[in-house]
Structure formats: C-alpha cells, structure tokens
Structure 1
Amino acid sequence: MQAVWPRPRPVLISPWLTESATSPSAGSGITVELGFAMTVLAVVWFIFRHEVLIYQLRIAAVLYDARGPADPEQVRAAEAVGRFLRLVLFLPGLFIVLAKLILRQ
C-alpha cells in the first residue's frame, strides 16, 4: 500500500490573504491591478500637476545649483516632461486594464 501524504497547506502571505486566495493571474505577470494603479497615478499626477511642476523645478535648481527663478523655457520643458510621463503611465495602464478585461477567460 502506498502512503498518502497530506496536501501541503497554502502559504500564508498575510493574515487575510493566502496564496490560494489570490487572483488567478497572480503568477502571469501583468495584472489589471498594475494597469489600474498606473492609470490612477497618472490621474492624480494630472490633478496635482502644478505642485509636481514646482517640486520638479525646485529639485532641478538644487541639483544644478541654480540661483534664481526658472526660465520660461525650463518651465515649458518641465511641463513637457510631466506630460510625457503622464501619457507613459496612463495609456499603457488603460490598455492593460482593457486588454485584461476583454481577453479574460
């Protein structure tokens, strides 16, 4: 007679969440949660874009030891960088969410 080993218990990830309770796509790489987080981050950045721009210019002034207000060209460049990064976050995030919702099994 062959010995029957007991099935191993699920790994405890947190007190409320075990490995068996995670989403089915947890091991498959990109998830809807990642896309949603990217989209939310881009929207929050859009809402607070002026504060982020001021902080971005302050950091640049400290890094490059600038002693005065930023030139209008620097402000436009910082706005363009912020716009580009928001798009880099928002569009792939939205694509991930839509693709995962449309193609889910």
Structure 2
Amino acid sequence: MTLVIGAAAPFPAARAQSVSEGQRLAFDRGKGNCLTCHEIKGGDLPGTIGPVLRDIKSKYPDRNDLVAILTDETRRNPQTVMPPFGRNRILTEQEINAIVDFLQTL
C-alpha cells in the first residue's frame, strides 16, 4: 500500500472490506471452513474440536502468529488436526490475511 500524505488514508475502508471477506471465507463450508471445528460469534452449527475463537487479538497480538497457524500449523505442532491451508493451497496468502483480519476482530 502506498502512503499518500495529505489524502484520506484508504486503510480503514480496505480493512473493513478485508474483515468482511475474512468472515465470509471463515464461514464458507467449502473454503476456510473454520466453523467445522471452532465456535465463532455469528456462525451457525459450530464444531467443538478446536478452541472457541474469541479474544484473538489479545491471545495473538502478533498477526504473524495467526498467519503461520493458518498457513501450516504442523510446523508448530506436528500433532495438530488443523489443516495446513496455505501449504496445501486451500487458501491463498490474500485469503489467509483476510481471515486473520477477521479473527483479530473477535
């Protein structure tokens, strides 16, 4: 993103769009599919395999930790059942970042 001095910063609108897209992906049963394992505020029919997703920004203040988890949690925890969304190309880097933007609002 280019920073333009003296102009209205586009970040808030872009971030809101990214958060919205991240929620759509997280709730999409054919894409992010987060609700299969996690309870997320606003989601229908959540699973209980993974932890409830709330207070995410306080639990993971460094967004790179969340990106790493979504990309390939097996690097941190080889015994995880969390799918390696990035490694297996289930989600693109842009989609992972959008989901992280959404998770940080929980």
Do Structure 1 and Structure 2 share a fold, with TM-score over 0.5? Answer: no
Q: Taking CA–CA contacts closer than 8 Å with sequence separation of 6 or more, which of the two structures ends up with the larger relative contact order? A: 1
The structure that is helix-richer by fraction is 1
- In the superposition, the TM-score normalised over structure 2's length comes to 0.23
Which structure is larger by alpha-carbon Rg, 1 or 2? 1
